Homo-oligomer: A and B are copies of this chain.
Amino acid sequence: MQTLEQAQDIMRKVKDLNAVSAVLGWDQEVYMPNGGAEARAEHIATIDTLSHEVLTSTEARRVADALRNEYNTLSEDDRTMITLFLRDHDRAVKLPDSLVRDTSRAQSLAQEAWKKARSEKNFSVFAPHLEKLIGLKIKAADLYGYEENRYDALLDLFEPGMKASIIRPVFERLRAGTVELLDRVKPVSESVNDNILRRSYERERQLEFGKSIISKLGFDFERGRVDLSAHPFCTNFAPTDVRLTTRIHENDLRSCLFGLIHEAGHGMYEQGIDMKYFRTFAAEGTSMGIHESQSLFWENVIARTEEFWQWALPQLKSVFPEQLGDITARDFYRAINVVGPSFIRIEADEMTYNLHIILRFEIEDGLINERIRVADIPEIWNEKMRESLGIVPKDDAEGCLQDVHWSFGGYGYFPSYTLGKLYAAMLWMQLQQDMPAVRSHIATGEFAPILEWLRTNIHQYGRTQTSEQIITRITGRGLTEEAFLSYIGSKVKDVYGLAD
């Protein structure tokens, strides 16, 4: 079938260009000298524009029309693939080339400005870039179209089918449950602390330990690598080339290790996608929410259990014998599960983390719907921090400048993190039923069956199943905050010795 082959050819070209753009982005964050920023912005813009041109060319439009006509004659597998092709094509044709190029260039420059602003703790360095990007995203959202809320058009880029009106009530119940739990912890908050994690841990050894742990979890270093960057991320150029980054704080053992496990969770998802989808539109995670469910599953659900540290602590002690000599797995487990208000999202505990996300969701929704002005972000941010967590950042570097997302244009991305937590808890409930020995597997470092369960149920499919299909098939129901509140409630009560 000729049009099918033509569609595959277009997909290959687009996927190649997107992979190349990812290489350029990776290098920009990891190794590029400062002077290279301007040229890099041009290069990424050229590649992104070309990718958009290929997907929206006269030929692509003709192929898309032909496939719509032939759709009913296609095999089931081909239909799945062509649905993805048409989904991306139809969305792409809504944006003019000039908007794509302007956005790409603005994003590259904004990323440099963000780095500068953050290091100088000066929001005004970043503000004009943010303003420009939000204007471009509003334009894009209006061109994509939406039913209820302009923000939904952007949400859909990261979590297909998701709407602000679905998220809001779930988030509200989640916030209520979280605040209730936080209130129970407050009176006993002094009973657990993370002091042991804040001793001095030599940087290079932290990194080596983290790499050895993710290798044992199942991250394949023949098909991936780890580097350092200001903000940890995972990117991939193929299932056979997955790049993770982390950062290291000498006086906080968590940053490097849990950052790495988190990114490795993303990475193992990408490495697990069936190679038959290579260079097709199916060859990526199905949504950011499912992606985050994988990273958070490994980072929190697995690596923050007491069983995990029964296995891992002896290894960590052999790397840092002086710092950790007399610590037990239970001590360590309690230290890494301290909960309480903090400023930095990616260093927040598992429970209060969601409050950081809800804040960002509300600000983004306000920005995109033009109820909030860019200039007012620092003030609104700080006010919301006070309201939800009871603390106020001392400067914008630990406030509204902490995240990279707005600089790369990822508006609508943040909710994925909390969706990921909710999905991860739902998966964990199911995994315990499917694999009653799972806790003892963790305690003995047998991660292969767990990774296999994720591969079989989720990874292999790439984008050929939606997040809703995946979650419903595995757990028998749709999105809920209940599993998470139950999971985190048990853990926090255990850690703080609270009654049920």
Copies of this chain: 2
Flag if A33 contacts B278 (CB, 8 Å).
no
Known: A13-B46, A40-B241, A241-B40. A24 touches B20 (CB 8 A): yes
Known: A16-B46, A50-B50. A39 touches B227 (CB 8 A): no
Q: Is A71 positioned at the interface, with any CB of B under 8 Å from its CB?
A: no
Q: Is A126 positioned at the interface, with any CB of B under 8 Å from its CB?
A: no
Complex CA–CA separation, A39 to B241 (angstroms): 8
Flag if B278 contacts A39 (CB, 8 Å).
yes
Central interface residue in A39, A221, A223, A237, by most chain B CB within 10 Å: A39
Complex CA–CA separation, A414 to B156 (angstroms): 54
Complex CA–CA separation, A394 to B33 (angstroms): 41
| CB-CB contacts below 8 Å: A32-51 with B | 32-36, 38-40, 42-43, 46-47, 50
Known: A32-B241, A35-B223, A36-B238. A43 touches B16 (CB 8 A): yes
Closest to A50 in B: B50
Flag if B19 contacts A39 (CB, 8 Å).
yes
Closest to A13 in B: B46
Q: Interface 1/0s, chain A 5-30, versus B by CB < 8 A?
A: 00000001100110110011001000
Shortest Cβ distance from residue A313 to the other chain B in the assembled complex, whole angstroms: 29
Q: Is A175 positioned at the interface, with any CB of B under 8 Å from its CB?
A: no
Known: A31-B225, A222-B34. A237 touches B20 (CB 8 A): no
Could you list some 8 contacts between A and B, CB below 8 A?
Answer: A20-B20, A20-B43, A23-B43, A31-B225, A33-B221, A35-B224, A36-B238, A39-B278
Residues of A within 8 A of B (CB): 12-13, 16-17, 19-20, 23-24, 27, 31-36, 38-40, 42-43, 46-47, 50, 220-225, 227, 237-238, 240-241, 278-279
Given A16-B43, A20-B24, 12 new contacts (CB under 8 A): A12-B46, A13-B46, A16-B46, A27-B27, A31-B225, A33-B240, A34-B223, A35-B220, A35-B240, A36-B223, A39-B240, A43-B237
